Amino acid sequence: MTFSDIFKSSFLESVTEFSVLDTLIGMLFALAIGMFIFVIYKKTFSGIMYSTGFAMSLIGLSLVTTLVIMAVTSNVVLSLGMVGALSIVRFRAAIKEPMEIVFLFWSLAVGIVIGAGMIPLAVIGSAIIGIILVIFAGKKFSNTPYILVISCDGEKAEESALNMISKSVEKFIVKSKTVSAAGIELTAEIRVKDETTSFVNRINEISGVSEATLVTYNGEYMS
């Protein structure tokens, strides 16, 4: 028997050996759990810009991974070819939020587990992960950080503004100070009390303060 005979007979016959019922059941569970991941992501999202495309990709990722693992586990020859094909794929989509990595790995894990035939593990594990994420998403472990930018025309106005800040906020740290012919610009990270921001109005009323700007801060984005 030549290599050509093996390729034309055994290879093609082994590829077609799969259960239609098992495939449908696996894909249906992957779809259901993928939609569950989609709902959890939407409910727990706390970033700046919600991406519908990324949320929908979580469902697609669960389905595609399930299909790939089913193919790999059903045929050894196909699994080797699949490894070679996937090794040349490069993903360059930027991850904007750290939690997006969790949801990506969750979708991949669901696809792998379902594709391997361990559907109860995928269901129970996803339920536990979803409950934990929902619980902790509603918890507030610290006050929201803000960035306060103040423009002053002199040192006296600067001292008055800093004195007002120290009395009005829970904590503040001066991040930068720029002195120019036009005046002084202060940038401070603050933690406000009870999420009240009316003190910014009082700072702006100080003689010598030309502008006071308050923005939220989460490490990368400001709005």
For the stretch 56-69, pLDDT in tens is 889 998 998 898 88
For the stretch 97-122, pLDDT in tens is 778 888 989 999 999 899 888 999 99
Q: List the beta strands (DSSP E) in the chain.
A: 145-152, 169-180, 183-192, 209-216
Predicted TM-score (pTM) of this structure: 0.62
The correct CATH number of 145-216 out of 3.30.530.20, 3.30.70.260, 3.30.930.10, 1.20.1530.20 is 3.30.70.260
In sequence order, what are the residues at sequence separation of 6 or more whose Cβ sits closer than 8 angstroms to the Cβ of residue 138?
none
Tell me how far apart the alpha carbons of residues 136 and 132 are, in angstroms, rounded to a whole number. Answer: 6
Q: How many secondary structure helices (H) and strands (E) does the chain include? A: 9, 4
- Average pLDDT score, the chain: 79
For the stretch 122-181, pLDDT in tens is 999 999 999 999 888 766 556 678 888 999 888 888 888 888 888 888 888 888 888 888
Tell me how far apart the alpha carbons of residues 154 and 210 are, in angstroms, rounded to a whole number. Answer: 11
Residues of the chain with CATH 3.30.70.260: 145-216
* 38 pLDDT more than 80: yes
Q: Which two tokens stand for residue 210?
A: 């030309």
Do residues 203 and 150 make contact, with C-beta atoms less than 8 angstroms apart? yes
SS3 content of the chain, % helix, strand, coil (to 5): 60, 20, 25
Do residues 171 and 188 make contact, with C-beta atoms less than 8 angstroms apart? no
Do residues 211 and 204 make contact, with C-beta atoms less than 8 angstroms apart? yes
Q: What is the pLDDT of residue 182?
A: 81
DSSP letter, residue 45: -
